[in-house]
Structure 1
Amino acid sequence: MTRPDPSISDLVADRRPGHSLPAGLYTRADVFDADMEIFFRNHWIAVGLECDVPEPGDAYVLDIGKSSLILLRDDEGEIRVLHNVCRHRGARVLNAGNSIVSKLVCPYHQWTYELSGELMHAPHMGQGFDKSCRSLKPVKFVSVGGLVYACLSDNPPEDIDRLIETMEPRLAPYDIRNAKVAYQCDVIENGNWKLTIENNRECYHCLGNHPELCLSFIDLDFGYDPAALSQADRERADAHEARFAEVTMAWEAAGYPSAAVLPRVEGDTNFRTQRLLMNGAGESQSPDTRAACKKLLGTMTDKMLGDVHLWGHNTWNHFMADHAVIATVIPLGPDRTLVRTKWLVHKDAVEGVDYDVQHLTSVWVATTDQDAELVERSHAGVSDPAYEPGPYSEFAETELESFAGWYVRQMRVNGY
């Protein structure tokens, strides 16, 4: 006799601290639907950048589950985020991706909206029709140093202020609001979105899988077992920790916030940030670890200010003096996830003069492709009847325990 599947609440209750999640939390369609409602409708999510829409009339449409959002810059130069749903009979106003518009015109019946979202023209609706109550619906959003976060709920988490207060001063010297997108790459990973995030939140796998990235990453920053080190490696680790502490103090004293800010398992808006040293020449995540763009971002003048990491539950980011790498994670199904990566440079940087696109992007293009293969392997494994949750490394996978603990708490808070 076939046994009934456990409920979502049972799966959540079965999660053992210090271990990966039960299989059903990665693979089941009902769990995916719950994830989309809880984590992608009721939480703040990364949706784009102010520099996606640098000029009035620029629009960028992002589809998230059943929702579609228009990020645009209006006639006054202000950022707006609107629901991409015509107030007539619901047709999509704009297609996904980038466009340039003077007005927002629904292609179905030509209802026409100002860039503010206000309905200005609705043909053949009669003299008594009231346009004032048919504006496009606005989406709640915040800009964090030029990174746009939106919440589809009418009651978004209030602790977004912690992210804003932490990241505005860290990002100010990079002036991401006035950067430009030099390149964009979309990769579909054949795995659950949580596996994508888990893979990004640990570098236990990096040495064996990311040779390009490891030229600039320092392995000791991502956890190690002290008891397993030789005397020489122990001395190397001690020297690195002392140097890292000294450099972090110097960065802070120079006005560059750098110390780690950790996620709060009990909070709603989940993020982590820290400024880390880079290996090799120490300037950038490029094939030679030197700056890949001659024109530095914002007001930056020092190429040796490390890499500011910022992780969230649907994003990861790297900010270096010469360029930034911005990744956005959009679930497409229980076993399919879009990873959209953008490389930012100074708005006045000239391709072929200040930077070469292949040189600028090759490290993270390779890394993202490698991660896609790892996530596909992981999803195939958790879908196997032989899978059972395995233990996290207490040295190299502490961020996975933090993420899993936050995920489980959020599921319970929302009735699971």
Structure 2
Amino acid sequence: MAILRAVSLAAAILLLPVAGAGSAAAAAPPQGTASPQGTVPRQGTAPVAGLSLPRPTGPLAVGRDTLHLVDRHRRDPWVPGVARELMVDVYYPAQAATGTPARYATVEEIRRYLAALGLADTLPVQALADTHIASRVGARPLPGRRALVLLSPGLGVGRRSLTGLAEDLASRGLVAATVDHAYESVGTAFPGGRMLTCVACDRMRTDADFGAASRGRAADLSFVLDSLTGAHPAWRGAQLIDPARVAAVGHSLGGSAAASLLLHDRRVRAGVDMDGTLGEPVGAGGFGGRAFLLFGATADHPGSTPAAGEGTAAKNGTAPTSGVTAGDDDPSWAQAWAHLGPPRLWLDVDGADHFSFTDDPVLADQIPLPAAAAPSAPAPGQTLTGRQALAITRAYVGAFVERWLCGRTQPLLGGPSRAYPQVRVVGRDPQPTADATRRR
């Protein structure tokens, strides 16, 4: 069983005995004893001004609708006596100044997350739940035909952790759906006043469990796609979605799920794994010509060392590589890279940690930690601010999905960038022309 790294909201490093092949496989917050329910900051928490996520970078306003989906044809893998349930936030381009401000998370969801990290009495629960975001509930959708991006979070964390990325994708003109998988976060509110907790965090113990969880999440994402594009769609704006242009993006276990989805659902044209160990091996056929981005922290996925005789092309990241560097305890990316055909891209971010691809570092940077909670030193290799990390994630994930879903040329993906010097190209293929992209 691997020892996995998780980074708390206070930027402390926690070591967790959770299943998976490498340091970034499942990275869930530790399970903790829930403290009594509360809706205001606890005694001893640091006072904070209003917290906020950076404004989306696109020109469009963002709406958000929340869906409760029940797959009555599947039993829940962690609680088999019930049907599989999902909570989904759908972000979409909207008419400005319509709707009402959306909530970042419920107080109890934040409290349970912090309690799992042992920080519910230290960090400001209410302020975090009230984090200002750009999206508005019930906003009127802008007309158009939109590509769809499905987003799956890391184990234990919940869909709210990908809000900053989802809002940005919607501001660019896409529809983004973040998914909470039942019993796979430390606390997610479901209808009827239910707060479902992370049964999976207790029961996932082997690599086989991790692989099964990845496949289960892929089935969840396929069901979300069915629910948004089927004959009787669950979302009022379903007519906006172009079912021929779908991508899957995920963090940690969610990233593994994105890869599993491409293995099992041909409707999905592109995928992005943000720092997640892959739960299923990629076969010799790869994803059948569909685009995939491995997007990780350099510390977790430092890349591969060229085998003898592979020469300059491999060293420059333009040819398949073999062997794994001594610092890479997750061989799944090197295995996948060797089998993925074009179009494929592998990017590492210097100074990032496992949670740099989520909202958490942005919020942590805004909280004046009490001396007792502040880490004595930054985590090794962790040098990015939260805003820098979110800007990088938005820029590269947005560019990748727009490239392969919308056929828009993206110079950012072609090589090193002066705007984002922390991003290194580990491996890439020559980009085909835009005309070739549109024919896919």
* TM-score using structure 1 length: 0.23
Report the structure number with the largest CA radius of gyration.
1
